[in-house]
């Protein structure tokens, strides 16, 4: 396991944090602004302390930007000491591990309903349209099972069905009387 030394928590001005070079995450600024506007900062940002004392942000770039846009003057930062390789891995993991997540629809729907009843979905990153989409998904009837032939019906694959006749024009094959017609 990589060595991470926790140096503690600090309150700093959001603008005093240096970006991680090449941070690639694109954020939903409107959703982050709404979250910061409603809840403030509810989790610490993560930064490493460089040898010159600079705090380099590893995780929380979008939150920090929302704090700046919302004119918040102080932010809570968890400060760690790590090497360059570990800093890169943490930056990638902070966003890369969340991109593969999914939600259990019924449980999420329950949480959204609770939030709607307790003051609304504003600032949560969810909205009424998403609630309604999940509700339709959860309430949708289960698909009907595929019809199955009776047990006594013989099973064939397309290549083993014996046919007696073949159309010379299209290649369709069939069994039965080639000359019978009901059009008389």
pLDDT for position 22 = 85
Q: Is residue 73 within 8 Å of 13, Cβ to Cβ?
A: yes
Q: How many domains does the chain have?
A: 2
**Which of 80-89, 105-114, 155-164 is predicted with the least confidence, judged by mean pLDDT?**
155-164
Interval 104-119 mean pLDDT: 85
The CATH number linked to 28 is 3.90.1530.10
- The residue segments making up the domain with residue 92 are 5-96
Interval 61-89 mean pLDDT: 94
Q: Do 79 and 125 share a domain, yes or no?
A: no
Residue 119 lies in a domain: yes
Q: Do 31 and 83 share a domain, yes or no?
A: yes
Q: Do 41 and 92 share a domain, yes or no?
A: yes
Burial degree of 177 (CB within 10 A; 0-12, 13-18, 19+): exposed
Confidence tier at 184 by pLDDT (50, 70, 90): very low
Report d(CA 88, CA 85) in Å as an integer.
Answer: 5
Buried b (16+ CB within 10 A) or exposed e, 95-125: beeeeeeeeeeeebbeebeebeeeeebebbe
Report d(CA 109, CA 121) in Å as an integer.
Answer: 12
Closest CA to 27 of 69, 62, 59, 64: 62
Percent share of the chain, pLDDT over 70: 90
Cα four-point dihedral sign 9, 13, 17, 19: positive
Confidence tier at 179 by pLDDT (50, 70, 90): low
């Amino acid at each position: 396991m990589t060595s991470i030394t926790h140096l503690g928590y600090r309150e700093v001005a959001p603008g005093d944090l240096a970006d991680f070079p090449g941070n690639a995450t694109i954020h939903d600024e409107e959703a982050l602004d709404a979250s910061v506007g409603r809840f403030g900062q509810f989790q610490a940002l993560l930064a490493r302390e460089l040898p010159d004392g600079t705090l380099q942000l590893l995780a929380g770039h979008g939150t920090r930007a929302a704090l700046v846009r919302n004119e918040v003057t102080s932010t809570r930062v968890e400060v760690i000491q790590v090497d360059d390789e570990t800093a890169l891995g943490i930056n990638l993991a902070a966003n890369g591990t969340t991109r593969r997540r999914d939600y259990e629809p019924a449980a999420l729907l329950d949480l959204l309903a609770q939030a709607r009843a307790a003051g609304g979905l504003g600032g949560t990153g969810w909205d009424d349209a998403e609630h309604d989409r999940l509700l339709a998904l959860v309430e949708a009837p289960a698909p009907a099972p595929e019809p199955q032939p009776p047990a006594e019906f013989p099973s064939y694959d397309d290549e083993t069905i014996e046919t007696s006749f073949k159309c010379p024009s299209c290649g369709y094959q069939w069994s039965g009387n080639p000359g019978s017609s009901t059009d008389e």
